[in-house]
Structure 1
Amino acid sequence: MNHVLEIDSTQLQFGGRKILSSIYLRCETGKIIGLLGKNGQGKSCLMKAIYGSLPCEKSVRFDHISIVESFKHPDLIVYLPQCNFIPKSLSLRRIFQDFTLEYSEFQNRFSEFAKREKDTVGSLSGGERRLLELYIIAKSKSQFALLDEPFTHLNPLQIEKAKQLLKEEKEHKGLLITDHMYRHIIDICDSLYVLTNGQTYLTKSVADIDTLGYARL
């Protein structure tokens, strides 16, 4: 069964500056939705609004049912924030036990983690830590996942492996992803929105990214 996540009627401002106003975004299970926008346009704010961790006027609906605090429903949605969220003191073994995931599958996909299940998160490099958190979120049993800058600190090989992971996991959930490495977003997304001046625009072609002033292609 396909599931649908929609957000609209969003109003958010800081210090008199309107950050989000004319927003409409739709995400479906089985698809990767890209969200692009220059720094300061409100991409992270929009994701936090959807997740429910940033209070603001909005309408967030799962299969046409309005839910205000989505974060209370991990079966519906999970969120990968820009900042690290797994404590440094935990071992990889403990993390995979807590999230009921198989460490063997993880290390088979990412060989740099082979036989390191006793290591703590604090011993990982920035890229390894990001890869771990991305994997945990991507493999969650939720209907939707929000991914904010998932490719941060990853090397080119890790990015390609991460993209393959996301392509596989979209068979089980809907993914909304934003990253400044926009060419990787374009490469894997099924639909693409550009956020500018508080509004979202569903692009019809890659050329629209240029027209909307996001990037010269």
Structure 2
Amino acid sequence: MLNIIYGNLTPTHKCIRFDGNFILHAFKRPDLLVYLPQQHFIPSWLTLKRIFSDFNIEYAAFEKQFPEFKSHYTSSFKALSSGQQRLLEIYLILKSSVQFAILDEPFSFLSPVLVEHIKEMIVQERQNKGILVTDHKYRDIMDISDNLYVLSDGKTHLTKSLNDLERLGYLKLSSEPADNS
């Protein structure tokens, strides 16, 4: 579904609307829509200096929030660990000046501490833009979501509780850990 929305796959029928207006080729509108795919999208040879310049985002604000990047400004993207690469990509997507951001599996490759930072960033940035997040870490998604939907049998189902997730075949509550970790 995300690949269709962002234009990577061509469906037989499609319609994207923003504020009730039909938008053809929304993926070609960098002011409107930005997409974080599951795999890394930044070319490995680019330096962080170049990446932040291309995204028109201030590196100092990123460095202040994540001081472990202080010495990486002139480093290439490939010099970072997978978790650092993922964090950087998520930060850039969330801080981009767009109306809508799509995040596909943003919590992959991240430590629990970084997941909490990302969740805080999502909550903060949703004041500035619409954010659609897909991830299998449903507890983290439930923590940050205004509305939670499960895609099942080609339909979206509004989900309010863990019982709804079980009813839709997404999880089995009997297999949930007792300590909620």
Q: Does 1:48 align with 2:3?
A: yes
Q: CA deviation at 1:206?
A: 3.4
Write the distance in 2 (CA, Å) between the matches of 1:89 and 1:75.
Answer: 25
Deviations 1:149-190 (A, max 9, x none): 111100111111111111111010000001111111111101
Q: Which residue of 1 aligns with 2:163?
A: 207
Q: CA deviation at 1:102?
A: 1.0
Write the distance in 2 (CA, Å) between the matches of 1:116 and 1:83.
Answer: 21
Q: Which residue of 2 aligns with 1:120?
A: 76
The answer as to whether partners of 1:92 and 1:119 remain within 8 angstroms in 2 is yes
Other structure's SS at 1:177 match: strand
Mapping of residues 38-77 of structure 1, within 5 Å: 46-56=1-11, 57-77=13-33
The answer as to whether partners of 1:60 and 1:67 remain within 8 angstroms in 2 is yes
Q: Does 1:166 align with 2:125?
A: no
Other structure's SS at 1:115 match: helix
- TM-score (ref. length: structure 1): 0.76
- TM-score (ref. length: structure 2): 0.91
Q: Does 1:103 align with 2:59?
A: yes
Deviations 1:8-50 (A, max 9, x none): xxxxxxxxxxxxxxxxxxxxxxxxxxxxxxxxxxxxxx11222
Other structure's SS at 2:136 match: coil
* The 10-residue stretch of structure 1 (134-143 or 64-73) with the greater mean CA deviation from structure 2: 64-73
The answer as to whether partners of 1:79 and 1:137 remain within 8 angstroms in 2 is yes
Other structure's SS at 1:186 match: helix
Other structure's SS at 1:58 match: coil
Of the candidates 94, 100, 104, which is equivalent to residue 50 of structure 2?
A: 94
Write the distance in 2 (CA, Å) between the matches of 1:143 and 1:84.
Answer: 22
Write the distance in 2 (CA, Å) between the matches of 1:146 and 1:206.
Answer: 23
Q: Does 1:81 align with 2:37?
A: yes
The answer as to whether partners of 1:52 and 1:68 remain within 8 angstroms in 2 is no
Aligned amino acid, residue 134 of structure 1:
I
RMSD of Structure 2 on Structure 1 (CA): 1.1
Other structure's SS at 2:107 match: coil
* The 10-residue stretch of structure 1 (110-119 or 137-146) with the greater mean CA deviation from structure 2: 110-119
Aligned amino acid, residue 124 of structure 2:
E
Write the distance in 2 (CA, Å) between the matches of 1:206 and 1:176.
Answer: 20
Other structure's SS at 2:71 match: coil
Bigger share in strand: 1
- Alignment identity in percent? 50
Q: Which runs of 5+ in 1 are unaligned?
A: 1-45
